[in-house]
Amino acid sequence: MDRLEAMSVIIAVSETGSISAASRRLKSPVATVGRKVAELESRLKAQLFQRTSRRMTLTDAGRSYVDACRRIIEQVGDAEREVSGEYRAPRGQLGVTTPWGLGHTHLLPLAVEFLRAYKDISLRLMLTDRLVNMTEENIDVAIRVGALPDNNMIATRIGSIRVVVCASPSYLKIRGEPKQHKDLADHDCITIDDHTIPSAWKFVRSRRATVAPITSRLCVNTSEAAVLAAMEGAGLARVMSYKMDAAKRAGKLVIVLQDLEPEPLPVHIVYAPRKPLPLKQRAFIDWITPRLKARLSLT
């Protein structure tokens, strides 16, 4: 039995909670994954998992074994990176994830500049609004917007993003500018949802929540579409500031209700603690941090 492969299988089963889910992650047949788990338990003469009809959970012996497996696999990975030169010079492939809009607006142009500066590094960018599991999807660095989960990741705050209400100058000239939350009921509001048309916007500032009833005649499923509709004069849109910043600079959108905005959302660069940190990862973090800070300070 290939011990490292078996360790990887056990880790995948422990993290996904089932043999079928682990097989999908590993791109290996269910029967093969199940057989490797059974063979390993037989060889160790220990039960690693408690099995139910819905989920497999680690036993005490299983938890100890999986913790040791993670350390061993990380050490093997470090050894391979050392041999390949990742600890002697910034080189190799780097996985980075960020929310879709932030990635398109800010990260992508900076990533192209980074690649020009570091010829031996390749970037794999995952631009998505879902919360990516960094371990499962081989991500080295994540840029997160909003509150962070309580985990053991290293997080460096690089800025914040406002949530703003905006409209085109032409719309405001005809309908007037709202001054209070209650004024939104008298305006056409462009809302964002996949399944229903929202009837209210919730504002939270200094831990005090205000629910403002709205009238929505246009509901779209992306904030980018909401921004475009607002530029066309369809009404007020409520989006993250960086998504409408270019239109604001071009004079096509105006921010309203600024005094009533909720607290800005924090933005962090997040990565797993490793000693030493691969030079490719350190180079990217050190290079991207001040540049993203500068861009976010303008929104």
pLDDT of res. 76: 77
Domains with residue ranges and CATH for the chain = 3-84 (1.10.10.10), 92-160+265-296 (3.40.190.10), 163-260 (3.40.190.10)
The encoded tokens of residue 268 equal 């962090």
DSSP character string of 89-116: SS-EEEEEEE-HHHIIIIIHHHHHHHHH
Tell me phi and psi for residue 189, to 5 degrees: -115, 135
At 278 the pLDDT is 85
Closest by CA to 265, choosing from 245, 237, 242, is: 242
pLDDT for 22 equals: 85
Phi-psi region of 95 (alpha: psi -120 to 50; beta: other; left: phi over 0): beta
Looking at residue 67, what is its pLDDT?
A: 87
End-to-end CA distance of the chain: 55
Q: How are beta strands 188-192 and 215-220 bridged, if at all?
A: parallel
Q: Which two tokens stand for residue 296?
A: 């976010």
Helix axes 3-16, 60-84, angle to 10 degrees: 120
Rounded CA separation 199/212 (Å): 9
Q: Token pair of 231, please?
A: 């530029």
Check residue 83 and give its pLDDT.
64
* Whole-angstrom distance, CA of residue 41 vs CA of residue 35: 10
The low-confidence residues of the chain, meaning pLDDT below 70, are 1, 78, 80-89, 150, 206, 298-299
Identify the pLDDT of residue 48. Answer: 87
Q: Give pLDDT, residue 245.
A: 87
Residue 196 is predicted with a pLDDT of: 86
Residue 227, SS3? Answer: helix
The predicted pLDDT at position 85 comes to 60
Q: Residue 8: which residues within 8 A CB-CB, separation 6 or more?
A: 26, 69, 73
